[in-house]
């Protein structure tokens, strides 16, 4: 992320809001990852989920496994892990992915692995189960919000002119920590994905949304805003 911003001519400053941690039950994750051959499908909602599953497995994913991803970046991570042609929804959210997947298989009795994180949205999992799929949820990692004081301290030190936000949870936590006015004073707010954009709009903030829900696309959007 930092390199992409610097290559585009920006000064990258960090203000961590929510930090990634290990899975709450590593052995359960390892068992699922080592047994990918037992599943008909693996569906991932984030690059973090793919990387956690791959690290727990310790080897490449089986080729015969059918896969699906929320977003192109997640699909690219799955291909890098060994997956073949992950299915991607028309929009970069779980609901849109389920609309795409619904007619792609007879889900009755299918074994589906979904790496998750606590607090994640359930539309896709609920849809699969209603169609008769046997869904195994396993928490692949944890996300812990930093204290408001620590976020405010880093925000003041960074003194940003623009911000890129990658999730609704990050957007809401940052707003709670530094206040709406601090974000409203920025020259630009870039929201990666429609749910992040919606969270900012709900707070009364105007944000730009890049064409694709990826960090690189967000950098391109930011560069277009400042280009003469």
At 171 the pLDDT is: 96
Same structural domain for residues 28 and 137?
A: yes
Put the strands of the sheet holding 66-69 in their side by side order: 87-88, 66-69, 41-44, 111-116, 134-139
At 91 the pLDDT is: 67
Q: Which of 143, 169, 200 is the last residue of a domain?
A: 143
Same structural domain for residues 203 and 220?
A: yes
Give the domain extent around 191. 2-17+146-226
At 23 the pLDDT is: 94
CATH of the domain at 120: 3.40.50.10090
Helix, strand, or coil (residue 207): coil
> Structurally, how many domains does the chain consist of?
2
Give the H/E segment covering residue 200: helix 194-202
Same structural domain for residues 91 and 184?
A: no
* Cβ atoms of residues 9 and 223 within 8 Å: yes
What is the C-alpha to C-alpha distance for residues 147 and 163, in angstroms, rounded to an integer? 19
Q: Which of 120, 143, 166 is the last residue of a domain?
A: 143
Q: Which of 143, 159, 174 is the last residue of a domain?
A: 143
What is the C-alpha to C-alpha distance for residues 224 and 120, in angstroms, rounded to an integer? 32
Q: What is the pLDDT along the chain (228 residues), one digit of tens a residue?
A: 788 888 889 999 989 999 999 999 999 999 999 999 999 999 998 899 999 999 999 999 998 999 999 888 899 999 999 998 899 887 667 888 888 898 889 999 999 999 998 877 788 999 999 999 999 999 999 999 999 999 999 999 999 999 999 889 899 999 999 999 999 999 999 998 888 999 999 999 999 999 877 888 889 999 888 765
Same structural domain for residues 80 and 193?
A: no
At 228 the pLDDT is: 59
pTM of the entire predicted model: 0.79
């Amino acid at each position: 992320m930092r390199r992409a911003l610097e290559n585009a001519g920006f000064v990258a400053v960090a203000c961590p809001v929510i930090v990634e941690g290990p899975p709450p039950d590593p052995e359960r994750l390892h068992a699922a990852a080592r047994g990918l051959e037992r599943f008909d499908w693996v569906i991932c909602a984030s690059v973090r989920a793919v990387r956690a599953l791959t690290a727990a497995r310790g080897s490449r994913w089986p080729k015969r496994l059918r896969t699906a991803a929320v977003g192109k970046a997640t699909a690219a991570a799955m291909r890098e892990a060994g997956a073949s042609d992950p299915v991607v929804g028309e929009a970069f959210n779980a609901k849109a992915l389920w609309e795409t997947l619904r007619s792609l298989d007879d889900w009755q009795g299918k074994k589906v692995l979904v790496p998750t994180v606590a607090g994640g949205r359930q539309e896709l999992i609920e849809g699969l189960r209603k169609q008769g799929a046997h869904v195994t949820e396993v928490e692949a990692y944890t996300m812990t919000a930093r204290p408001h004081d620590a976020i405010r301290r880093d925000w003041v030190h960074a003194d940003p002119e623009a911000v890129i936000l990658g999730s609704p949870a990050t957007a809401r936590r940052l707003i709670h920590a530094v206040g709406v006015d601090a974000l409203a004073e920025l020259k630009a707010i870039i929201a990666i994905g429609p749910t992040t954009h919606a969270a900012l709009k709900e707070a009364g903030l105007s944000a730009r949304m890049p064409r694709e829900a990826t960090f690189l696309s967000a950098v391109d959007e930011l560069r277009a805003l400042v280009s003469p």
